[in-house]
Structure 1
């Protein structure tokens, strides 16, 4: 007699970002596109490219720009779109949306905002987006592309066109007037168990978004210290040379985490370990610890990771090592993608990136932010990108030549007062 053993293998879905496109959000007045499509004209750093049957995508994108240029707002735009997809049906009737339009122009202050994302889910490319005001969804669309692009639904006001063979629940929802003007059709379909819509909403969940202060991720990492991921976190901290042997719960306050460090005797021989409170560690140590669980989760499951100010408190070499984790097929077998902003210009001279992986954010005199790819500039092979960036060749640097006038004027004013 034979015993049948069934082994369940969890399949990791292919979930990649192709392009994010938005308009009239915070400091971005005009159309803005962040593309992760790899240029066919750039041949270097082939390991940084994900090759698929139809399109080649970038494993990482870095965004540069001066303070208050819009680097964080760019990530906020995606965060807003994700929150709308997840929670649009939670809005109280007539309460409206907390959308922050570009407010420095009479032209855009009351104009609608636009959001669209192109992504790959289980080897199929989708394009989903919507246009909205502070009160209503003006339009919404979903397209599917295998060989040719096919419309799954298009909504304009109360009029909805849809493919009934792909979306079977739309008809009954429309007939029963279940689609509110302030709710996304995609969100409603997902709540009524439409499988494709649920998968697309879940795609947005697979984007890990980390804020600059780490407030939304430190607790996530600390929670993971009570799971099997702890071993990987400890290993990553050791490999990053933080001299932390382990993490333990405080013996009295079990909600607090302590770090264990080695104690040596007079002969520099290891004799014991001693605990430190987490707040006794440096800001860089705590920042890196906060990143470990999201990074491991992203690499293990082929997700998308967006980080605001990756370089905060971290050494240049450590950032380089983290980027290499994403660019290597060995450590990134599921084609995870990383999008981050930074002020570390040394990365531009480290041969880590192709030109199409580098973006610059800058603002004009009217407060309008714009996003430009380094691939849009005519550059000779081997050009020193760090030098050219610091020289202002790409824009996206602060104008500081008049800064000394503030002190000069004050000095002149003081002299006049003494006279």
Structure 2
């Protein structure tokens, strides 16, 4: 589980900001769980306040861990995204740190970089609550703890370029001491943002897996969209018929559950397509994926990452979830992570959103607990601050949606009616001058 994430000097995150997922209110803990971190965290804030930059920072850290060993050119520097509204941003280091609970053991991994090289990098574990150094890298080189194979790690260090993470090279060399953290980044952490363009391919992959298809259909049914079933069919083009009809291509459809072959040599092309069976007044009708709403397609696209996280205890991060899903669908996904019956492995979900209704209730129950709500806002210098609802000591029964919209927590846009009116009036004068009216 992710216990916390810290970042500094990344896009609008100038000073160090921390997303701390350690539970604050014991009374809000899901019954029957002993999770070391909250299963859900939602980040609220105005447009351009920095919500997506928090996600981008975690995505950047993941990319560095997983790919720096193969993408960094010797002497090529590091392509990073420092704070651009202060001249010191480009000159100062950027840093990224995670605290993880892996198989009951806490690990802390982090690094700082500038545009040329890795400045610092470190990995510690805490078996039995005591800190154990695995490695620490600084300007003087790399040092190792007593309980790791120093000779092997020194060899790895000798082939690690200045602009490459030691973690990446050591993991590719199958060094056991770093693999748990590396595998969390490479396999347990999934970051998604508005994946409509890959909804069709994602759905095809999910429904072609017999074991996973049943779970996907169950998730769609539970969302109460009127969906009864889903599956795949193959679409064939009869090239011979196409030529004989003056170039018109004839398509036929066959379910993949049946014999998909055309039975002749005339079919040179085929394509898998998703069908969704939906309730209507006169029964159930199969429709193509393109005939579904964007929300249905997005839910189908997200169902794979959601089920993967729940099955493995991973972390799923969804940026701007309200741009993809209706609030009720989002609340449904959140509930899957909140309850141990559907989340037996302690999977986590992090969302960024504008949707204040998620601060309310669904079916009489809180959608988000008090220690699962975070806010971002920018100051007059373009610097993002990240802070939790728990800083405001909220009562369990208070109407958090109303208080947020009323500005009690900050992180809402300041709208000036006078400025809007002046802008519209100025536009009208300009248009009149240009048209000679």
Normalised to the residue count of structure 1, the TM-score between the two structures is 0.87
Using the alignment, how far apart are the partners of 1:376 and 1:49 within structure 2?
A: 26
CA contact (8 A) 2:33 2:340 kept: no
Using the alignment, how far apart are the partners of 1:66 and 1:236 within structure 2?
A: 31
Matches within 5 A, 1:49-198: 50-51=33-34, 56-90=36-70, 91-146=72-127, 147-168=129-150, 169-174=152-157, 177-198=158-179
CA contact (8 A) 1:152 1:162 kept: yes
- Counterpart residue number, 2:426: 409
Q: 2:354 aligns with which of 328, 343, 347?
A: 343
> Structure 1 residues 165 and 44 mapped into 2: Cα distance closer, same or farther (>3 Å)?
closer
Q: Cα offset for 1:315?
A: 2.8
Using the alignment, how far apart are the partners of 2:6 and 2:68 within structure 1?
A: 19
Using the alignment, how far apart are the partners of 1:309 and 1:19 within structure 2?
A: 21
Using the alignment, how far apart are the partners of 2:65 and 2:421 within structure 1?
A: 47
Using the alignment, how far apart are the partners of 2:369 and 2:383 within structure 1?
A: 27
> Structure 1 residues 203 and 100 mapped into 2: Cα distance closer, same or farther (>3 Å)?
same
Using the alignment, how far apart are the partners of 1:391 and 1:33 within structure 2?
A: 25
Using the alignment, how far apart are the partners of 1:250 and 1:362 within structure 2?
A: 49
> Structure 1 residues 127 and 328 mapped into 2: Cα distance closer, same or farther (>3 Å)?
same
> Structure 1 residues 114 and 389 mapped into 2: Cα distance closer, same or farther (>3 Å)?
same
CA contact (8 A) 2:41 2:374 kept: yes
- Counterpart residue number, 1:11: none
Two-structure CA RMSD over aligned residues (Å): 2.2
CA contact (8 A) 1:50 1:59 kept: no
Matches within 5 A, 1:320-359: 320-350=331-361, 351-359=366-374
Using the alignment, how far apart are the partners of 1:325 and 1:263 within structure 2?
A: 25
- Counterpart residue number, 2:23: 38
- Counterpart residue number, 1:212: 194
- Counterpart residue number, 1:309: 320
CA contact (8 A) 2:195 2:301 kept: no
How many aligned positions are there? 392
Consecutive unaligned residues of structure 1, counting only runs of 5 or more, are 1-15
- Spell out, residue by residue over 1:266-315, the C-alpha distance to the aligned partner (whole angstroms, 9 max, x if none): xx554xx6543322211111111111111111111111110112223433
- Counterpart residue number, 1:249: 233
- Spell out, residue by residue over 1:90-111, the C-alpha distance to the aligned partner (whole angstroms, 9 max, x if none): 1111222221111011121221
The residue matched to 1:229 in structure 2 has which SS? helix
Choose 229-238 or 125-134, whichever is displaced more.
Answer: 229-238
The residue matched to 1:329 in structure 2 has which SS? coil
Using the alignment, how far apart are the partners of 1:167 and 1:373 within structure 2?
A: 41
CA contact (8 A) 1:49 1:59 kept: no
- Counterpart residue number, 2:255: none
> Structure 1 residues 69 and 29 mapped into 2: Cα distance closer, same or farther (>3 Å)?
same
CA contact (8 A) 1:45 1:353 kept: no
The residue matched to 1:382 in structure 2 has which SS? coil
CA contact (8 A) 1:44 1:354 kept: no
- Is 1:366 aligned to residue 371 of structure 2? no
Choose 94-103 or 401-410, whichever is displaced more.
Answer: 401-410
Q: Cα offset for 1:164?
A: 4.3
CA contact (8 A) 1:50 1:58 kept: no
Q: 2:223 aligns with which of 234, 237, 240?
A: 240
The residue matched to 2:67 in structure 1 has which SS? helix
Using the alignment, how far apart are the partners of 2:51 and 2:200 within structure 1?
A: 22
Q: 1:284 aligns with which of 295, 312, 315?
A: 295
Consecutive unaligned residues of structure 2, counting only runs of 5 or more, are 237-268
CA contact (8 A) 2:28 2:370 kept: no
Q: Which contiguous aligned blocks of 4+ residues in structure 1 show a shift greater than 4 angstroms?
A: 214-218, 412-419
> Structure 1 residues 415 and 299 mapped into 2: Cα distance closer, same or farther (>3 Å)?
same
> Structure 1 residues 49 and 349 mapped into 2: Cα distance closer, same or farther (>3 Å)?
farther
Choose 220-229 or 363-372, whichever is displaced more.
Answer: 220-229
Which has the larger share of helix? 2
Q: Cα offset for 1:413?
A: 4.9
Q: Cα offset for 1:239?
A: 1.9
CA contact (8 A) 2:134 2:177 kept: no
CA contact (8 A) 2:21 2:41 kept: yes
> Structure 1 residues 158 and 64 mapped into 2: Cα distance closer, same or farther (>3 Å)?
same
Q: Cα offset for 1:217?
A: 6.4
Using the alignment, how far apart are the partners of 2:393 and 2:207 within structure 1?
A: 48
Using the alignment, how far apart are the partners of 1:171 and 1:157 within structure 2?
A: 15
